[in-house]
Amino acid sequence: MFKVDSSMYYFDHLLCSLLGNSIGTNGTERIADALKVNTTLQVLSLELNYIGPEGGVAIGDALQENKSLQTLNLGFNRIGGKGAIALGNALQKNFTLQDLNLIGNSIGPQGGIAIGNALKENNSLLSLNLELNYIGPEGGVAIGDALQENKSLQTLNLRRNAIGWGNGIAIGDALQRNNTLTILNLQDNNLGDNGAVAIGTAIRNNKNCALVTLNLRLNRIGDKGAIALRNAIQKNSTLQDLKLFLNDIDPALRDDIDALLRRNR
């Protein structure tokens, strides 16, 4: 087990990885205290350390003061909605963090809403990983609303979040206006044809859409949704990679879509 002591306060390296050290809440609170005064650390990984909600709160509080950290990995730490709310509050004040990984933290709808609200204010974050957090329809709406206003986020991973087709429409509405997102992962969210049609419509209508990679695997999309996506790509010149595996789409439609994507590469 890694021992967290006062040396963290004077840590002068650019990168620190403490992955899988069972630091727990108490150790995380010590690290958070150090982050409040540290001015050199740029990359910190605390993945798989069981920091819990209180640890998430401690890191959130530290980020309101820290001005050097650019990349933070808190994957699989059970921070829950409480920890995500603290991080959301921090993102409204911290404008140096560029990459935040929250995969597998069960932040739920409450956490999704908090992060969504933060994205409306934050214009420094470039990459956000919310995979496997079950933010649900409410969180999906919050993230969609935020994407209509956010001007910085380039990579967003929402894989396996139970967003549902109704709020896939909210993501589609966001893409009508968003001009910065280049990589979007929506795999396994039960978006269905309605969600795919909304996304396709957005890609077709938004002449400044920046999407290059879109993952729609395992979303119960049929021919209706695939036709909307094909029609969109016919008028779009930026999308190069569209993942549609594990959907019920006619092979001829897949071939049409693949040909259009090759044209864009």
Cβ neighbours of 247 (radius 10 Å): 21
Contact 183, 212 (CB under 8 A): yes
Would you write out the chain's pLDDT as a tens digit for each of its 265 residues? 455 554 455 455 799 999 999 999 999 999 999 999 999 999 999 999 999 999 999 999 999 999 999 999 999 999 999 999 999 999 999 999 999 999 999 999 999 999 999 999 999 999 999 999 999 999 999 999 999 999 999 999 999 999 998 778 999 999 999 999 999 999 999 999 999 999 999 999 999 999 999 999 999 999 999 999 999 999 999 999 999 999 999 999 999 999 999 999 9
* Token digits of residue 143: 């993230």
* Token digits of residue 243: 């993942």
- In angstroms, rounded to a whole number, what is the distance separating the alpha carbons of residues 151 and 123? 6
